[in-house]
């Protein structure tokens, strides 16, 4: 079966307009949750995404209210859609978690959220 040049052009335009499927990583869940006030410091952070991420190329850090950042070691164990990050002892105050991951579609995605640690 052969197609006319006109049909080839139409098919090419339809396929080009469809584009690749989007697979950017979205943060679905975190522990601690965004905005929470804790009475005890977390021992680890857990970030769960909507798809698999490349853990070895992911970064997580915590930033205190004064802007001092601590980069944390990301564990490569566990589920492919989660980051588990051990946390050093944290002082009471407001903490910001900043993360950056490589999505399965090859795009780097970053985000942040805050939690409070009560005295």
Q: Greater confidence, 13 or 44?
A: 44
Taking the whole predicted model, whether its pTM rises above 0.75 is answered as yes
Angle at 115 between CA 112 and CA 27, to 5 degrees: 35
Cβ contact 80:52 at 8 Å: yes
Q: Greater confidence, 33 or 4?
A: 33
Q: What is the chain's percent helix, strand, coil content, to nearest 5?
A: 15, 45, 45
Cβ contact 78:52 at 8 Å: no
* Token pair belonging to 22: 């989007």
Domains and CATH numbers, the chain: 23-117 (2.60.40.1220)
Residues 23, 8: Cα–Cα separation, whole Å: 28
* Token pair belonging to 103: 């999505």
User: pLDDT of 50-106, one tens digit each?
Assistant: 999 999 999 999 999 999 999 999 988 889 999 999 999 999 999 999 999 998 888
> Strand 59-64 vs strand 69-72: parallel, antiparallel, or unpaired?
antiparallel
Residues 59, 109: Cα–Cα separation, whole Å: 11
User: Of all residues in the chain, what percent carry a pLDDT higher than 70?
Assistant: 81
- Which residue's structure tokens are 């679905």? 28
């Amino acid at each position: 079966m052969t197609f006319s040049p006109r049909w080839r052009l139409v098919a090419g335009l339809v396929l080009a307009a469809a584009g690749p499927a989007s697979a950017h990583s979205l943060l679905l869940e975190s522990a601690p949750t965004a905005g929470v006030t804790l009475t005890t410091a977390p021992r680890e952070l857990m970030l769960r995404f909507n798809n698999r991420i490349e853990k070895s190329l992911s970064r997580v850090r915590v930033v205190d209210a004064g802007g001092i950042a601590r980069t944390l070691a990301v564990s490569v164990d566990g589920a492919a859609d989660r980051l588990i990050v051990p946390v050093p002892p944290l002082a009471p105050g407001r903490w910001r978690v900043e993360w950056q991951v490589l999505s399965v579609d090859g795009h780097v995605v970053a985000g942040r959220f805050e939690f409070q640690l009560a005295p």
